[in-house]
Amino acid sequence: MKHVLTIAGSDTCGGAGIQADLKTFSAHGTYGMSVITAVTVQNTQGVFGCQDITPEIIGAQIDAIFDDIDVAAVKIGMVSQIDTINTIADRLEKYKPEKVVIDPVMVSKHGFDLLQPEAKDALIKRLIPLAYVLTPNLPEAEVITGMKIDNIEAMEKAARKIHEMGAKNVFVKGGHLENDATDILFDGEKITMFKSERIHTKNTHGTGCTISSAIAANLANGMTVEEAVSSAKKYITVAIEHSLDIGKGVGPTNHFYALFEKAGLKYE
């Protein structure tokens, strides 16, 4: 069993962040480990507060894992402060994990800033060059590139521009476009398009965390980047299709639907 590490924030209601990452790792047959960068106060209705973990503790958490356990892949999510970003980048440069998937989390679905504005440049300069796969949605890609992205052609241009910033593979998620859900992958040479029918549901909490974690787990299990993304896309589509109507707001995706189906159990 491969060991996969998530470096991200904690979500109290379990649909995103560290909790979603660990569920996704388990659903893909990998062993999940975690480094917590922040503790958020949130539920399905929004994010109401955040306490960042000190860079010293973040660095110590990373050291504790790499000093003891083989890490097949790393997923990075919420990193809100410059010092946090620099600490993580320093450790990645020290331990040199190859398969690093970075989900550049910037703003929650309810508009809460999860990346401090002054930390954007640090994210671009320190973390993006260390990404084996970067997974921005359209608003995140717009912030990173300074471009307006409202069609497939603009997505492709953005992916190429982000690749020039150092990311080896760029997976731009097109969920904010209208019509079908179309994502693109640029590996430095070719563009690969992934299409799926749009699922009409309000329950999409944690989709970005989940698909990036699925990509990391798939890479750990030996898939190529294109295979990892394709499989992750199918996984998140099923998880959204059978999402959970929990709480009064935006519910989470269903991370274990396929496993429960195979076991003859209901988890809806």
Q: In 3D, which of 176, 170, 163 has the Cα closest to residue 226?
A: 170
Residue 268 domain flag: no
Task: Indicate if 208 belongs to the active site.
Answer: yes
Residue 246 domain flag: yes
Rounded to whole angstroms, the Cα distance separating 162 from 19 reads 28
Spot the catalytic one: 9, 40, 209, 253: 209
Query: CA 133, 135, 139, 140: dihedral to nearest 10 degrees?
Result: -50
Residue 42 domain flag: yes
H/E run at residue 36: strand 31-43
Task: Indicate if 77 belongs to the active site.
Answer: no
Rounded to whole angstroms, the Cα distance separating 228 from 7 reads 19
Residue 267 domain flag: no
Task: Indicate if 209 belongs to the active site.
Answer: yes
Specify the number of domains making up the chain.
1
Spot the catalytic one: 6, 208, 210, 251: 208
Task: Indicate if 190 belongs to the active site.
Answer: no
The one-digit pLDDT tens for each residue of the chain (268 residues) are 999 999 999 999 999 999 999 999 999 999 999 999 999 999 999 989 999 999 999 999 999 999 999 999 999 999 989 999 999 999 999 999 999 999 998 765 555 556 777 788 899 999 999 999 999 999 999 999 999 998 999 999 999 999 999 999 999 998 767 667 789 999 999 999 998 888 888 999 999 999 999 999 999 999 999 999 999 999 999 999 999 999 999 999 999 999 898 888 876 5
CATH number of the domain residue 38 falls in: 3.40.1190.20
Residue 15 domain flag: yes
Spot the catalytic one: 182, 206, 210, 251: 206
For the whole model, what pTM was predicted? Answer: 0.95
Residue-number span of the structural domain to which 105 is assigned: 3-262
Residue 183 domain flag: yes
Spot the catalytic one: 23, 99, 173, 233: 173
Are 8 and 17 contacting, i.e. CB atoms less than 8 angstroms apart?
yes
Task: Indicate if 49 belongs to the active site.
Answer: no
Spot the catalytic one: 24, 84, 207, 237: 207
Helices (H), 96-224: 120-122, 138-145, 152-164, 207-220
Residue 165 domain flag: yes
Task: Indicate if 204 belongs to the active site.
Answer: yes
